[in-house]
C-alpha cells in the first residue's frame, strides 16, 4: 500500500481530512502501512471519540507482507529518519506499561524498555547505553545502518501484541535468539547491516570478543573509566592518568580505521597489539608503547568472561570525577 492510499483510507476512517492529514504524519513511525492501518482501526473502534467513525470499504493490500526484504529495510530506515514527534497511542501505552513499575528490574528488561522508548519514536539509542551494545548496534559502521537496525526493531515491536511486545524481545535477548526472531518475522536480511551482526546476536554474552566493548568505549568519548575486561585485554590497566586513557582510545580508534574489528581482536588474543598497530601504520608515541600490552597468554584474554577479572574491578583512578 502506498502512502497516498493510506492517507485516503484515513480520510474515510476519520471523516475529517485535516485531522487525517496530521495523523498520517504520526503514523509513519508505526512501521509498515499495513500494521499502522490495523492499529488505527483497532484503537478507533474502542475509543468514544471515534464512536461515529465509519471504516471505508475495501480490503487491505497484501503488499506489506509480500514486498521484497530490501524494501522493508528502506521503510524501516524511512521511519527512523523522519522521527521526532511522540508516536501514536499503542506504542506509547506499551512503553509506559514497562517503565511504570517501581521495583528494580533486570538489566535486560531495562534495555528492552529503553529500546522501545527510543526506536518507536524514531530515535537512536545513546552509544554509551548497554542496550546499544546488547542489541547489536555496536556492529554497525554507519549511522544509516544504525537507523536501519533501529527501524527493524521498531517494526518487530509493532508487530507483536502487548504485553508480548515487551516479553518476546526480552526473552530472545536473554536466550541469544534475536536473529531467529528476525527470521521468523520475515526480516532475515538484517544480516545486510553488518557481516558480524548475526554472530554477535547468537553468541552468549560471556563468549563475545571484548573488541566490541572496546568499540563502544571509544564511542563513549567522555568516559575515562574502562570496564574491567578492557583493562585486562587492551592495556588500560597501565594508564596512570586520564589523558593516557584518551590517548589509548585514540590509538585503537585509528586501528579500527585501518583494520577490521576481528583483526584487532586477533591481535589482542595473540598479545600483539603494539606490533599490529605499528605494522598498519598507526602513529604511537614512544611513551604510549607500554600501554599496549595485555594479560597474554592467559586463556581468558579477548573474551567477555568473568574469570581473571578480580584484580580489575576497582576504580582505575583513586580520585573519581564528579558528575
Would you place residue 314 in the very low, low, confident or very high pLDDT band (cuts 50, 70, 90)? confident
What is the reported pLDDT for 55? Answer: 46
Helix, strand or coil, per DSSP, at residue 208: coil
What is the reported pLDDT for 143? Answer: 96
Q: Give me the residue spans of the domains in the chain.
A: 1-47, 89-203, 211-312
- pLDDT, tens digit, for every residue of 244-266? 999 999 999 999 999 999 999 99
What is the reported pLDDT for 99? Answer: 44
What is the reported pLDDT for 69? Answer: 52
Choose between 39 and 222: higher pLDDT: 222
Choose between 266 and 2: higher pLDDT: 266
Would you place residue 11 in the very low, low, confident or very high pLDDT band (cuts 50, 70, 90)? low
H or E element: which one contains 205?
none
The distance from CA 198 to its chain's CA centroid, rounded to whole angstroms, is 13
How many other CB atoms are found less than 10 A from the CB of residue 268? 27
First to last CA, the chain: 50
Q: What is the mean pLDDT of residues 258-275?
A: 98
What is the reported pLDDT for 176? Answer: 97
What is the reported pLDDT for 131? Answer: 98
Contact predicate 140/194, CB 8 Å: yes
Euclidean distance between CA atoms 40 and 21, whole angstroms: 14
Q: What is the mean pLDDT of residues 309-322?
A: 78
Q: Is the pTM of this model over 0.75?
A: no
What is the reported pLDDT for 165? Answer: 63
What is the reported pLDDT for 22? Answer: 52
Euclidean distance between CA atoms 97 and 120, whole angstroms: 14
Asked if the model's pLDDT at residue 10 lies above 80, the reply is: no
- pLDDT, tens digit, for every residue of 206-215? 999 999 999 9
Asked if the model's pLDDT at residue 95 lies above 60, the reply is: no
Helix, strand or coil, per DSSP, at residue 303: strand
- The half-sphere exposure of 70 on its side-chain side, counting CA atoms within 13 A, is 0
As a dihedral over the C-alpha atoms of residue 277, residue 281, residue 285, residue 287, rounded to 10 degrees, the angle is: 30
In percent, the amount of the chain with pLDDT more than 90 equals 56
- pLDDT, tens digit, for every residue of 124-149? 999 999 999 999 999 999 999 999 99
φ, ψ for residue 303 (rounded to 5)? -130, 155
What is the reported pLDDT for 262? Answer: 98
Q: What is the mean pLDDT of residues 227-245?
A: 97
Alpha helices in the chain (DSSP H): 3-14, 17-27, 33-46, 63-66, 69-81, 89-99, 107-119, 130-134, 143-158, 164-174, 178-184, 197-202, 211-219, 228-233, 242-258, 261-269, 273-279
Would you place residue 228 in the very low, low, confident or very high pLDDT band (cuts 50, 70, 90)? very high
> CA of 170: how far to CAs of 49, 110, 197, 222, 249, in Å?
34, 9, 18, 29, 32
Asked if the model's pLDDT at residue 52 lies above 90, the reply is: no
Choose between 13 and 123: higher pLDDT: 123
Amino acid at each position: 500500500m502506498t502512502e497516498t492510499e493510506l492517507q485516503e483510507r484515513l480520510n474515510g476512517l476519520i471523516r475529517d481530512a485535516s485531522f487525517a492529514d496530521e495523523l498520517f504524519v504520526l503514523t509513519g513511525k508505526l512501521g509498515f502501512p499495513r500494521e499502522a492501518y490495523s492499529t488505527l482501526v483497532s484503537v478507533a473502534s474502542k475509543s468514544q471519540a471515534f464512536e461515529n467513525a465509519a471504516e471505508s470499504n475495501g480490503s487491505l493490500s497484501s503488499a506489506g507482507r509480500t514486498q521484497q526484504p530490501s524494501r522493508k529495510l528502506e521503510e524501516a530506515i524511512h521511519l527512523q529518519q523522519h522521527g521526532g514527534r511522540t508516536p501514536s497511542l499503542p506504542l506509547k501505552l506499551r512503553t509506559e506499561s514497562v517503565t511504570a513499575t517501581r521495583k528494580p528490574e533486570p538489566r535486560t528488561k531495562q534495555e528492552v524498555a529503553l529500546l522501545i522508548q527510543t526506536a518507536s519514536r524514531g530515535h537512536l539509542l545513546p552509544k554509551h547505553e548497554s542496550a546499544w551494545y546488547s542489541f547489536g548496534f555496536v556492529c554497525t559502521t554507519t549511522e544509516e545502518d544504525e537507523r536501519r537496525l533501529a527501524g527493524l526493531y521498531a517494526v518487530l515491536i509493532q508487530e507483536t501484541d502487548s504485553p508480548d511486545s515487551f516479553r518476546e524481545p526480552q526473552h530472545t535477548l536473554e536466550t541469544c535468539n534475536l536473529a531467529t526472531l528476525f527470521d521468523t518475522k520475515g526480516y532475515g536480511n538484517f544480516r545486510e547491516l553488518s557481516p558480524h551482526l548475526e554472530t554477535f546476536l547468537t553468541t552468549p554474552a560471556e563468549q563475545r570478543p571484548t573488541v566490541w566493548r572496546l568499540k563502544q568505549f571509544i564511542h563513549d568519548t567522555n568516559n575515562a573509566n574502562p570496564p574491567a575486561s578492557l583493562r585486562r585485554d587492551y592495556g588500560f590497566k597501565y594508564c596512570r592518568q586520564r589523558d593516557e586513557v584518551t590517548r589509548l582510545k585514540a590509538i585503537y580508534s585509528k586501528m579500527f580505521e585501518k583494520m577490521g574489528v576481528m583483526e584487532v581482536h586477533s591481535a589482542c588474543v595473540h598479545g600483539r597489539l603494539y606490533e599490529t598497530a605499528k605494522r598498519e601504520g598507526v602513529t604511537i608515541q614512544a611513551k604510549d608503547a607500554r600501554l599496549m600490552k595485555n594479560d597474554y597468554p592467559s586463556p581468558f584474554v579477548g573474551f567477555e568472561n568473568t574469570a581473571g577479572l578480580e584484580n580489575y574491578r576497582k576504580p582505575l583512578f583513586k580520585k573519581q570525577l564528579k558528575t
